[in-house]
Each structure stands twice: as structure tokens, then as C-alpha cells.
């Protein structure tokens, strides 16, 4: 993904320059197919493969070799100041190593380990895999499971640690340049496969270091001749002080504040470099004397190989001459790599400015942390394309400035990016449907031009958007601002569409939709003809088949048939015609949805035909159905509640008012006497009811009389 961010971003900038601004661009890409990391990895792979092929059985000797490699790895990489790790190395105890694993689960403890060494997590994971493999191998040895598969299992599970131990012992035996070249060639092929999937255009010219070694030797010779290089013990170094002191030259133009940064300087020289004989710590290798275990080529200074920085200068000069318009790369290459390129190229060409502009892309971070292969927090392109499309990845990068840090997260992809994509998808779907409908009805003019204030306003907004879009791209390729212009224009056009009804001017909508589609395809978000409405084909598209072109004639006829049936049904008030309406709705809501066809009913009785991904229509239909069912269930619940409430009220009226104040409806002895209507006159002791008590029982009797009359009426109605 880190590579994807860099190369997709460069591709977007290249497309803007060629497809939007119309510049002629000669795009050159360099393949570094020989450097310290490639040499080490290729050599270790070669030695490990040879060792594996020669090992035919599991033995105590093999286990001891792996065990010693594991102990050395833990001491050097894991056990710095960790007593548990030291005890595990000394005793090889499973319980001690398990205890260390439990400690690492403590967040604060692990943060402290990472503070001491940011690669601690990677080192510990490798050690744990190897330790587990050793325990399993020892158990197999005890049960005499010593076949080839058991041996190879141990080697494979411990390869990250074992390869380093074998390399330290046998590195001098590997000198064939083809070994490193074959590894680079394999990954070059994988790289270009991924670039094709990401829709990154191929370079106009491709150069490889191993194919330019003679030119590199000549280039270095001229730098020495011009007084800016010197030979030392078979290597050649660039004299940064001589260059810095020369008139018209400055070393470290890009990052002068990093000039004395030893860590960056050492990293730029490579893991295999031993700077012997250099005059200054800032002097860098133009040509490296090869030691045993390293590929080499002949040169006036002895067998050796190119330095990392020199390759780009030589190949770019060979193809593009003594001046480059633009040099690109990640921001981490600014110093020392690009600064060293500038110095040695200006020393060779005797010029003051070898590159006019540098384009340094920002880093990619994963959930706030810089993506790094060494930290094992990277996401492969395979993994990300299983979850998101190429278009969505490009959109994610376009929402950020090309030179800004990108914090890649699920919220970015599932939130902002998918919202942008959905908004544009919906817009194109409606626009195409309106355009297709207008083409079907082009002979049915109503005799009016439909170009009034709303059309004038939308046309003005369209032209202003085109201006603002260009201004954004002129402002250091400000793609986030350019995307905002497109989104704002979509919003204004949607408002216009929704407000105009029958008075809609489809021509203006078509002009807007075509231009927006062109700009999106210019960014590489799809491929297709310049006159096409929409994104064009994506990587998950349906190949060369134009689904719309094939299906739309049939859909128009089907829609026309449905329109006629609906009109007939709406003109008559008959049960049979209601069934026809139901059938037409079934066609719309059931039959056509799995085909990805949406029919939107309009005021004039005609349907707007739209092609939409079936999954979206099914989801929308199911959500609508669920909403209707929820409303129906709520209404039914309300009706039932009202019924229960009325029934409870009616049940209260079951008792006749004459019996309301007599047992068993009141406790025995509550009242002593009643009148003919059953209203109490005295209490249980024979005393006449007080004035207030008398009023209350009369009021309650009247209420019950009303309830009882309602109850009797309901009973009569129910029995009838």
C-alpha cells in the first residue's frame, strides 16, 4: 500500500499533465535491480534453499544449528535488558519464554520494548515462531519422526532466523550477479502486475541498473576528472566538501538541515557498506569495491558494483540529457538520495541546476503509524483489493494532497470514499436515465425551450466549476479541492433536477454529466470514451460488454408496455383494473429488481428507466419493505392496544348500577341500606351517609350506569 500510494499519486499527476493540461511528457522509470538489500535477501534465499535441498532428515545436529541461531537472535535482537529473554536463552525453557510472551501482552511493557527498538515486535515474532518449531522438532526426534518433511518443516518455520545464521557462515560462496538479478526480476514482474491492477500507466522508458554498468563507470570517471571524486581501496567516493566549496555549487540543497545526519547518511550507503578510506563522513560511494559474497563488475578501480545514488543520475542523464524538468519520489528519498543525485549530476554536467522541480510524495500511515515493512504493519495490494476496488483506492489518495501524509483507515474508506462514490454513482444513474428518456421522446416537443432562470443559473455554475477545477489543479495539483468542485456541481445539478420536473432541460444535465465523467476518467478512476456518461469501466467491470447498450432497447419497450397498462388501470375504477396495477407494481418491485432495473414513477405517468447494481436495488427494496412492515406492525399494535383498552372499559360496565354497591362488588357490611336504584343510604353501622359521601356514590352510580348501557349495546351488537 505504501508503494501504491506513491505510484498511484505519481500516475495521477502524470495524467493531469498529459490528459488535462496537454503537456508532452517523457516518463522514465528506473528499476534498482542491484543494491545491498537485494544482495542480502537473494544470497540468504540461495543459501537457505541449498541448505534445505541438502537436508534429508531431522537430526540432533539440525536442531542444534537452529537452536544456536535462535539464541544468537534473541541475544542480539530481543534480549537487550530483558532478564526473561536472557534466562530463556540460557536454559531454553518453554515456561520462561511463555512468561515473556505473557509480559509482552501488557501494553505498557510492550511500548517500552518498542521504545528501545521499533522492530522489537518483528524480532520477537520471529523468535517465537522459531522457538515453537524447535519444541515441535525435539518432540518429533524423540518419537523417531525424522523424515525429510519433518526436517523441512523446522527449516521453513525458522527460516527468518536460520537464513541469517547460514549467511554469516556461507556468504562468501555466493558471487554470481544472476542470483541477485533473478530475485529482482521476479519482484519487478510482480510490481508491474500490481501497477496494472491499480491502473498505473507504464513508463515510456524503463531502465535497469544492471544494464547500465558501463555507463556508470564512465560517469564516475568523469566526476573524478572534474575534481569531485576520489578512489580509496577499490571504492570511489564523492568529495562533498570539494563540491560544497566550489563556486555555483551547494551540497544538500533539498535538506541542508540534514547535511550532518549520520543515521540518514549510513542508511543511504546500505547495510553492506564499509566506508574505508573516505575523507569525510558525508562523502558517499559512487562505486563500491565488492567483497566476497557480493556480485561484481570490472572497473578501473577493481571489481565492484555501483553505489545506490549514482544509478539514477547515470540513467536519467543517458535518456533525458543534462536537465530534467521533474524528478519524483517519496519524501524519505530527499536526503541523502536525491541530494546526492543532484550533487554528482551537477558535478558531472558542470551545471548549476540538474533538476527544475522535485515532487516528493508523503508517507502512508496505517491508523496513525507509518507503514513499514520492517514493522510488519503494512497492507499488501492483494489484501486491500480484496476489500476495496482500484477506483476506491484512487479516490482515497485523491482526497489528500499529493505531498501530504495519508492516514489510511477503515473510516476513510468506508466513510468518505464510499460516500463520494455513491453520490457520483447516483448522479450518473439519474443523468443517464434522463438522457435515455429524452432520446426516446425527442419527437414529442411541447413547443417550449425550457431555458429559463434555473437553466441559466445551472449553466453559470457549470462554467464557474470548470474554472475552479482548473484553478485547483494549477495550485500544485490540489486534487482534494478539485474533487470538492465536482461534488458541489453534482449537488447543484441534483437540486436543479429535483426542482424542475417536466420543465427539465436535459441538455444541460448531459453537458454537466459528460464533463464530470471526463474529469474522473482523467484522474484514472475509470476508462472509456470521452463522450461516455459516468466513470467508464472499473477493474471489476464487465469487460468490453456495454450492458446499457445491449439491454436498454428491450427495457424501453418493457417500460412502455407497463406505462400503457398503468394508464388504462388508472382511467377505470374496476377490480380487474386494480389487479393490472398490482401486476405492474410486481414487475417494478419484484421482477426487474434482480436484473438491476429501476423504474421510477413520475408525475406524467411515465417511468424513468435506470440501470442500477442489483444488490443496491435489492437492498433498497428490502429496506423499504422492512419499513412498511414495521409501520404496519406498529399500526396493528396500536389497533390492538385500542381494542384491549375498549374491551377493558366495556368489561367495567358488565356490573349493573343497581348491584354496584352491593356484595360481592363491595365488602360485606360496607353499606346498611339502599334505595330502589341500588344507591346506598346508610353505612354499615346504620348511620346516614354524609353529604359528600352521598354525592360520591350518586356520581359513581351515574358513571356505572353509562358504562353498563354501553356494555349492553356492545353485547347486543356482538350477538347480532
If residue 704 lies in a helix (H) or strand (E), which one and from where to where?
A: helix 691-719
Assign residue 436 the CATH number of its domain: 1.10.730
- Give a yes or no: residue 661 inside a domain: yes
Within 10 Å of residue 190's Cβ, how many Cβ atoms? 12
Per the CB < 8 A criterion, the answer to whether 684 and 671 are in contact is yes
Residue 165's pLDDT is what? 94
Residue 720's pLDDT is what? 65
Residue 545's pLDDT is what? 56
Confidence of residue 542 (pLDDT cuts 50, 70, 90): very low
- Give a yes or no: residue 226 inside a domain: yes
Residue 116's pLDDT is what? 73
Same domain? For 594 and 706 the reply is no
Residue 360's pLDDT is what? 94
d(CA 514, CA 428) in angstroms, rounded, equals: 9
Confidence of residue 86 (pLDDT cuts 50, 70, 90): low
- Give a yes or no: residue 194 inside a domain: no
Same domain? For 223 and 168 the reply is no
- Give a yes or no: residue 223 inside a domain: yes
Confidence of residue 553 (pLDDT cuts 50, 70, 90): low
User: What's the pLDDT tens digit per position in 163-204?
Assistant: 999 999 999 988 888 899 999 999 999 999 999 999 999 999
Backbone angle region of 328, left / alpha / beta, with phi > 0 → left and psi within -120 to 50 → alpha: beta
Residue 236's pLDDT is what? 96
65-79, 142-156, 319-333, 433-447: range with lowest mean pLDDT: 433-447
Domain boundary among 614, 634, 668: 614
Q: Are strands 229-232 and 304-306 parallel, antiparallel or unpaired?
A: unpaired
Same domain? For 341 and 485 the reply is no
Distances (CA, A) of 103 to 111, 117, 125, 130, 489: 11, 16, 14, 19, 56
Cell reading at 164: 541469517
Predicted model pTM: 0.73
Residue 541's pLDDT is what? 42
d(CA 117, CA 123) in angstroms, rounded, equals: 10
What residues does 365 pair with on adjacent strands? 370, 407
Tell me if the bond preceding 690 is cis, omega within 30° of 0. no
Residue 373's pLDDT is what? 58
Nearest to 65 by CA among 81, 54, 78, 79: 54
Q: What percent of the chain has pLDDT over 70?
A: 89
Same domain? For 665 and 554 the reply is no
Same domain? For 432 and 284 the reply is no
Domain boundary among 306, 328, 353: 353
Per the CB < 8 A criterion, the answer to whether 678 and 660 are in contact is yes
Distances (CA, A) of 236 to 218, 305, 311: 12, 10, 14
- Give a yes or no: residue 94 inside a domain: yes
Q: Which residues contact 238 (CB under 8 A, 6 or more apart)?
A: 223, 228, 229, 283, 284, 285, 286, 340, 343, 344, 347
24-38, 92-106, 549-563, 677-691: range with lowest mean pLDDT: 92-106
Tallying the residues shown for the chain, one arrives at 720
Question: What is the full DSSP assignment across 260-273?
Answer: T-HHHHHHHH-TT-
Cell reading at 684: 354499615
Within 10 Å of residue 50's Cβ, how many Cβ atoms? 14
**pLDDT, greater one: 612 or 158:** 158
Distances (CA, A) of 284 to 267, 273, 291, 421: 11, 10, 18, 48
Stretch 209-232: mean pLDDT: 96
Same domain? For 222 and 348 the reply is yes
Same domain? For 308 and 420 the reply is no
Q: Is the confidence at residue 85, as pLDDT, over 80?
A: no
- Give a yes or no: residue 199 inside a domain: no
**pLDDT, greater one: 661 or 555:** 661
Same domain? For 487 and 575 the reply is yes
Structure letter (DSSP) for residue 594: G
Same domain? For 435 and 567 the reply is yes
Confidence of residue 426 (pLDDT cuts 50, 70, 90): very high
Q: Is the confidence at residue 539, as pLDDT, over 60?
A: no
d(CA 195, CA 200) in angstroms, rounded, equals: 5
Q: What is the 3-state secondary structure (H, E, C) of 663-684?
A: CCCCCCCCEEEECCCCCEEEEC
Domain span at residue 261 reads 212-353
Q: Is the confidence at residue 544, as pLDDT, over 60?
A: no
Q: Is the confidence at residue 543, as pLDDT, over 60?
A: no
Q: What is the 3-state secondary structure (H, E, C) of 472-499?
A: HHHCCCCHHHHHHHHHHHHHHHHHHHHH
Question: What is the full DSSP assignment across 424-486?
Answer: HHHHHHHHHHHHHHHHHTTT---S----SHHHHHHHHHHHHHHHHHHHHHHTT--HHHHHHHH
216-230, 349-363, 585-599: range with lowest mean pLDDT: 585-599
Per the CB < 8 A criterion, the answer to whether 488 and 465 are in contact is yes
- Give a yes or no: residue 410 inside a domain: no
Residue 406's pLDDT is what? 86
Q: Is the confidence at residue 558, as pLDDT, over 80?
A: no
Distances (CA, A) of 548 to 534, 537, 551, 693: 12, 12, 5, 85
Confidence of residue 529 (pLDDT cuts 50, 70, 90): low
Per the CB < 8 A criterion, the answer to whether 208 and 33 are in contact is yes
Residue 272's pLDDT is what? 59
Nearest to 487 by CA among 397, 429, 417: 417
Residue 336, classed as helix, strand or coil, is helix
Confidence of residue 378 (pLDDT cuts 50, 70, 90): confident
Q: Per the structure, how many domains does the chain have?
A: 4
Q: Is the confidence at residue 286, as pLDDT, over 60?
A: yes
Confidence of residue 475 (pLDDT cuts 50, 70, 90): very high
Same domain? For 129 and 257 the reply is no
Nearest to 346 by CA among 218, 252, 235: 252
Domain boundary among 353, 370, 396: 353
- Give a yes or no: residue 167 inside a domain: yes
Residue 288's pLDDT is what? 92
Same domain? For 127 and 223 the reply is no
Residue 540's pLDDT is what? 45
Same domain? For 451 and 594 the reply is yes
Q: What is the average pLDDT score of the chain?
A: 87
Nearest to 39 by CA among 322, 237, 218, 305: 305
Confidence of residue 446 (pLDDT cuts 50, 70, 90): low
Per the CB < 8 A criterion, the answer to whether 308 and 32 are in contact is yes
Q: Highest mean pLDDT: which of 30-34, 493-497, 619-623, 703-707?
A: 493-497
Q: Is the confidence at residue 257, as pLDDT, over 80?
A: yes
User: What's the pLDDT tens digit per position in 586-613?
Assistant: 888 888 888 888 888 777 667 788 888 8
Residue 640, classed as helix, strand or coil, is helix
Per the CB < 8 A criterion, the answer to whether 430 and 610 are in contact is yes
d(CA 492, CA 506) in angstroms, rounded, equals: 14
Amino acid at each position: 500500500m505504501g508503494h501504491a500510494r506513491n505510484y498511484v499519486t505519481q500516475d495521477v499527476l502524470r495524467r493531469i499533465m498529459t490528459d488535462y493540461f496537454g503537456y508532452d511528457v517523457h516518463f522514465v522509470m528506473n528499476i534498482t535491480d542491484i543494491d545491498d538489500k537485494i544482495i542480502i535477501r537473494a544470497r540468504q534465499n540461495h543459501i537457505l534453499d541449498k541448505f534445505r535441498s541438502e537436508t534429508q532428515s531431522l537430526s540432533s545436529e539440525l536442531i542444534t544449528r537452529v537452536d544456536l541461531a535462535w539464541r544468537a537472535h534473541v541475544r542480539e535482537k530481543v534480549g537487550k535488558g530483558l532478564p526473561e529473554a536472557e534466562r530463556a536463552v540460557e536454559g531454553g525453557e518453554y515456561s520462561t519464554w511463555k512468561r515473556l510472551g505473557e509480559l509482552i501482552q501488557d501494553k505498557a511493557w510492550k511500548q517500552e520494548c518498542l521504545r528501545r527498538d521499533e522492530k522489537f515486535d518483528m524480532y520477537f515474532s520471529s523468535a517465537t515462531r522459531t522457538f515453537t518449531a524447535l519444541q515441535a522438532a525435539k518432540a518429533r526426534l524423540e518419537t523417531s519422526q525424522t523424515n525429510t518433511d519433518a526436517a523441512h518443516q523446522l527449516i521453513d518455520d525458522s527460516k527468518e532466523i536460520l537464513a541469517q545464521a547460514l549467511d554469516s557462515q556461507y556468504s562468501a560462496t555466493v558471487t554470481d550477479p544472476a542470483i541477485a538479478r533473478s530475485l529482482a526480476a521476479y519482484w519487478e514482474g510482480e510490481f508491474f502486475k500490481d501497477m496494472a491492477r491499480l491502473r498505473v500507466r507504464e513508463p515510456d522508458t524503463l531502465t535497469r541498473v544492471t544494464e547500465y554498468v558501463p555507463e556508470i563507470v564512465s560517469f564516475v570517471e568523469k566526476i573524478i576528472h572534474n575534481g569531485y571524486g576520489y578512489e580509496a581501496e577499490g571504492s570511489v567516493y564523492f568529495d562533498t566538501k570539494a563540491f560544497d566549496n566550489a563556486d555555483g555549487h551547494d551540497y544538500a540543497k533539498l535538506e541542508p538541515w540534514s547535511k550532518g545526519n549520520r543515521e540518514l547518511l549510513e542508511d543511504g550507503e546500505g547495510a553492506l557498506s564499509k566506508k574505508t578510506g573516505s575523507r569525510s563522513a558525508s562523502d558517499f560511494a559512487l562505486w563500491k569495491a565488492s567483497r566476497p559474497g557480493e556480485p561484481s563488475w570490472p572497473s578501473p578501480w577493481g571489481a565492484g558494483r555501483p553505489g545506490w545514488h549514482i544509478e539514477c543520475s547515470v540513467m536519467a542523464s543517458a535518456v533525458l540529457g543534462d536537465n530534467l524538468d521533474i524528478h519524483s519520489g517519496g519524501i524519505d528519498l530527499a536526503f541523502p538520495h536525491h541530494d546526492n543525485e543532484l550533487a554528482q549530476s551537477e558535478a558531472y554536467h558542470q551545471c548549476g541546476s540538474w533538476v527544475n522541480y522535485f515532487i516528493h510524495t508523503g508517507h502512508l500511515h496505517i491508523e496513525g503509524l507509518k507503514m513499514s515493512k520492517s514493522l510488519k504493519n503494512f497492507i499488501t495490494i492483494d489484501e486491500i483489493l480484496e476489500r476495496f476496488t482500484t477506483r476506491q483506492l484512487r479516490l482515497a489518495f485523491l482526497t489528500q494532497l499529493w505531498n501530504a501524509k495519508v492516514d489510511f483507515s477503515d473510516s476513510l474508506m468506508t466513510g468518505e470514499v464510499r460516500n463520494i462514490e455513491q453520490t457520483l454513482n447516483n448522479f450518473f444513474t439519474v443523468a443517464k436515465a434522463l438522457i435515455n428518456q429524452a432520446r426516446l421522446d425527442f419527437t414529442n416537443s411541447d413547443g417550449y425551450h425550457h431555458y429559463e432562470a434555473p437553466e441559466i443559473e445551472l449553466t453559470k455554475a457549470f462554467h464557474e466549476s470548470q474554472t475552479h477545477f482548473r484553478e485547483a489543479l494549477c495550485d500544485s495539483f490540489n486534487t482534494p479541492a478539485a474533487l470538492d468542485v465536482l461534488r458541489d456541481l453534482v449537488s447543484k445539478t441534483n437540486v436543479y433536477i429535483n426542482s424542475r420536473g417536466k420543465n427539465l432541460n436535459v441538455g444541460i444535465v448531459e453537458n454537466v454529466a459528460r464533463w464530470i465523467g471526463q474529469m474522473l476518467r482523467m484522474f484514472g478512476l475509470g476508462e472509456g470514451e470521452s463522450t461516455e456518461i459516468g466513470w467508464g469501466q472499473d477493474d471489476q467491470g464487465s469487460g468490453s460488454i456495454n450492458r446499457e447498450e445491449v439491454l436498454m432497447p428491450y427495457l424501453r419497450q418493457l417500460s412502455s408496455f407497463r406505462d400503457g397498462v398503468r394508464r388504462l388501470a388508472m382511467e377505470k375504477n374496476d377490480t380487474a383494473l386494480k389487479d393490472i396495477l398490482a401486476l405492474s407494481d410486481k414487475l417494478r418491485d419484484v421482477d426487474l429488481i434482480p436484473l438491476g432495473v429501476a423504474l421510477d414513477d413520475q408525475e406524467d405517468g411515465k417511468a424513468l428507466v435506470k440501470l442500477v447494481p442489483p444488490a443496491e436495488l435489492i437492498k433498497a427494496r428490502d429496506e423499504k419493505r422492512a419499513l412498511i412492515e414495521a409501520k404496519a406492525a406498529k399500526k396493528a399494535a396500536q389497533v390492538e392496544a385500542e381494542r384491549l383498552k375498549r374491551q377493558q372499559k366495556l368489561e367495567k360496565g358488565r356490573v349493573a348500577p343497581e348491584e354496584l354497591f352491593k356484595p360481592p362488588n363491595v365488602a360485606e357490611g360496607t353499606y346498611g341500606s339502599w334505595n330502589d336504584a341500588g344507591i346506598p343510604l346508610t353505612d354499615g353501622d346504620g348511620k346516614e351517609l354524609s353529604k359528600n359521601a352521598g354525592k360520591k356514590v350518586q356520581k359513581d352510580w351515574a358513571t356505572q350506569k353509562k358504562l353498563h348501557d354501553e356494555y349492553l349495546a356492545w353485547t347486543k351488537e356482538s350477538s347480532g
